Amino acid sequence: MTFFNTKPLLASAAMALALTACQAAENKSDTGVTNTESIANMDLPAGVTLIETVQGSDSGEVVIPYSKFRLDNGLTVVLHQDKSDPLVHVDVTYHVGSGREEPGRSGFAHFFEHMQFQGSENVADEEHFKIITEAGGTLNGTTNSDRTNYFETVPSNQLEKMLWLEADRMGFFLDAVTQEKFEVQRETVKNERGQSYDNRPYGLLWERVGEALYPEGHPYSWSTIGYLEDLDRADLNDLKKFFMNWYGPNNAVITIGGDFNTVQTLEWVKTYFGTIPAGPEHDAPVYEEITLDADRYISLEDNVQLPLLYMAWPTVHANHPDEAPLDVLANIMGQGQTSLLYKNLQKPGLAVQASAGHSCREISCSFTMLALANPGRVQKLSDLESTIRESLVEFEGRGVLDDDLTRVKASIVSGLIYGLESVSGKVSQLAAYETFRDNPNGIGDDIARYEGVTKEDVTRVYDKYIKNNPAVIMSIVPKGKPEMIANADTWQRYERTIPDFSGEAEQTWSRPEDPEGLDRSIVPASGPNPTIKVPDTYTFSVGDDIEVLGARNTEVPTTTISLRIKAGQSHETLDKLGLASLTAGLMSEATTERTAEELSNELDKLGSSVSFSAGDTFTTMRIRTLTENLDDTIAIAMEKLLKPKFDPEDFARDKANQIQNIKAGKKEASQTASNLFNIMMYGTDNPTAYSNDGTEASVEAITLEDVKAFYAAHYSPKIASVIAVSDLDKTAMEKALSPLSDWKGPDVASSEIKDFPQLDTGTLYFVDKPNAAQSEIRVGKRALPYDATGEYYRSGLMNYPLGGAFNSRINLNLREDKGYTYGARSFFNGDEKSGWFRASAGVRADSTAASIVEFAKEIQLYQQSGITEDELKFTKSAIGQRDARAYETPSQKLGFLSRMATYDLKPSYIDEQADILANMTKSEIDELAAKHLQLGEMIMVVVGDKAEVYDDVVALGYKVVEIDADGNPIK
How far is the C-alpha of 371 from the C-alpha of 354, rounded, in Å?
4
User: Is 259:86 a contact under the CB 8 Å cutoff?
Assistant: yes
Torsion-angle region of residue 683: left (phi > 0), alpha (psi -120 to 50) or beta? left
Supply the angle between the helices 402-419 and 443-451 in degrees, to the nearest 10: 170
pLDDT of residue 771: 87
pLDDT of residue 21: 36
Report the chain's terminal Cα–Cα distance, integer Å: 54
pLDDT of residue 584: 98
Pairing between β-strand 959-962 and β-strand 763-768 as defined by DSSP bridges: parallel
φ/ψ of residue 826, rounded to 5: -145, 155
User: Is 361:145 a contact under the CB 8 Å cutoff?
Assistant: yes
User: Is 767:941 a contact under the CB 8 Å cutoff?
Assistant: yes
CA nearest to 266, candidates 33, 523, 520, 27: 33
Radius of gyration in angstroms for the set of CA atoms belonging to the chain, rounded to a whole number? 28
How far is the C-alpha of 864 from the C-alpha of 584, rounded, in Å?
46
How far is the C-alpha of 471 from the C-alpha of 311, rounded, in Å?
6
The SS3 assignment for 563 reads strand
Supply the angle between the helices 127-134 and 869-881 in degrees, to the nearest 10: 50
Going by C-beta distance under 8 Å and a sequence separation of 6 or more, which residues neighbour residue 533? none
How far is the C-alpha of 799 from the C-alpha of 786, rounded, in Å?
15
φ/ψ of residue 232, rounded to 5: -65, -35
Pairing between β-strand 558-565 and β-strand 720-726 as defined by DSSP bridges: antiparallel
Mind listing the pLDDT tens digit for each residue in 655-671? 999 999 999 988 889 99
DSSP code per residue over 189-227: HHHHHIIIIITSTTTTHHHHHHHHHS-TT-TTSS-TT--
pLDDT of residue 58: 65
- Residue 554 CA: distances (Å) to CA of 29, 412, 424, 887, 905: 20, 21, 17, 13, 24
647 shares a domain with 635: yes
Q: Report the number of distinct structural domains present in the chain.
A: 5
Collect the ranges in the chain with pLDDT lower than 70.
1-38, 40, 57-60, 505-508
Q: Is residue 432 part of a domain?
A: no
303 shares a domain with 232: no
569 shares a domain with 651: yes
How far is the C-alpha of 445 from the C-alpha of 6, rounded, in Å?
14
Angle at 688 between CA 859 and CA 752, to 5 degrees: 115
| Neighbour count for residue 170 (Cβ, 10 Å) | 25
The SS3 assignment for 245 reads helix
Domain limits for position 414:
296-419+438-484
| Neighbour count for residue 527 (Cβ, 10 Å) | 16
DSSP code per residue over 342-373: IIIIITTTSEEEEEEEEEEETTEEEEEEEEEE
Going by C-beta distance under 8 Å and a sequence separation of 6 or more, which residues neighbour residue 767? 672, 673, 676, 941, 942, 943, 944, 962, 963, 964, 965
815 shares a domain with 901: yes
Torsion-angle region of residue 39: left (phi > 0), alpha (psi -120 to 50) or beta? alpha
789 shares a domain with 767: yes
Q: Is residue 523 part of a domain?
A: no
Exposed, middle or buried: residue 750 (CB in 10 Å: 0-12, 13-18, 19+)? exposed
Q: Is residue 633 part of a domain?
A: yes
Q: Is residue 531 part of a domain?
A: no
pLDDT of residue 8: 30
CA nearest to 637, candidates 583, 562, 705, 729: 562
| Neighbour count for residue 387 (Cβ, 10 Å) | 21
The SS3 assignment for 476 reads strand
pLDDT of residue 830: 95
- Going by the DSSP 8-state scheme, the letter that residue 466 receives in this structure is I
Alpha carbon 500 to its chain centroid, in Å, reads 39
314 shares a domain with 446: yes
User: Is 580:692 a contact under the CB 8 Å cutoff?
Assistant: yes
How far is the C-alpha of 627 from the C-alpha of 728, rounded, in Å?
8
448 shares a domain with 410: yes
206 shares a domain with 80: no
Dihedral through CA 682, CA 687, CA 689, CA 691, nearest 10? 180
Mind listing the pLDDT tens digit for each residue in 227-250? 989 988 888 888 888 989 999 999
User: Is 945:772 a contact under the CB 8 Å cutoff?
Assistant: yes
Angle at 929 between CA 851 and CA 876, to 5 degrees: 100
Alpha carbon 273 to its chain centroid, in Å, reads 31
360 shares a domain with 443: yes
The single-letter code of the amino acid at 406 is T
Q: Give the full edge-to-edge strand order of the sheet including 364-373.
A: 296-302, 472-478, 308-314, 364-373, 351-361
Q: Is residue 426 part of a domain?
A: no
Torsion-angle region of residue 905: left (phi > 0), alpha (psi -120 to 50) or beta? beta
User: Is 952:778 a contact under the CB 8 Å cutoff?
Assistant: no
Exposed, middle or buried: residue 26 (CB in 10 Å: 0-12, 13-18, 19+)? middle
Going by C-beta distance under 8 Å and a sequence separation of 6 or more, which residues neighbour residue 148? 93, 94, 96, 97, 109, 112, 113, 141, 142
934 shares a domain with 882: yes
pLDDT of residue 3: 27
How far is the C-alpha of 250 from the C-alpha of 879, rounded, in Å?
36
User: Is 252:70 a contact under the CB 8 Å cutoff?
Assistant: no
Q: Is residue 461 part of a domain?
A: yes
pLDDT of residue 410: 86
The single-letter code of the amino acid at 828 is F
- Going by the DSSP 8-state scheme, the letter that residue 305 receives in this structure is S
Give the domain CATH number at 717: 3.30.830.10
716 shares a domain with 599: yes
705 shares a domain with 773: no
pLDDT of residue 43: 87
How far is the C-alpha of 875 from the C-alpha of 165, rounded, in Å?
21
Q: Is residue 429 part of a domain?
A: no
Q: Is residue 967 part of a domain?
A: no
| b/e sequence 260-271, b meaning 16+ C-beta within 10 Å | bbbbbbbbbbbb
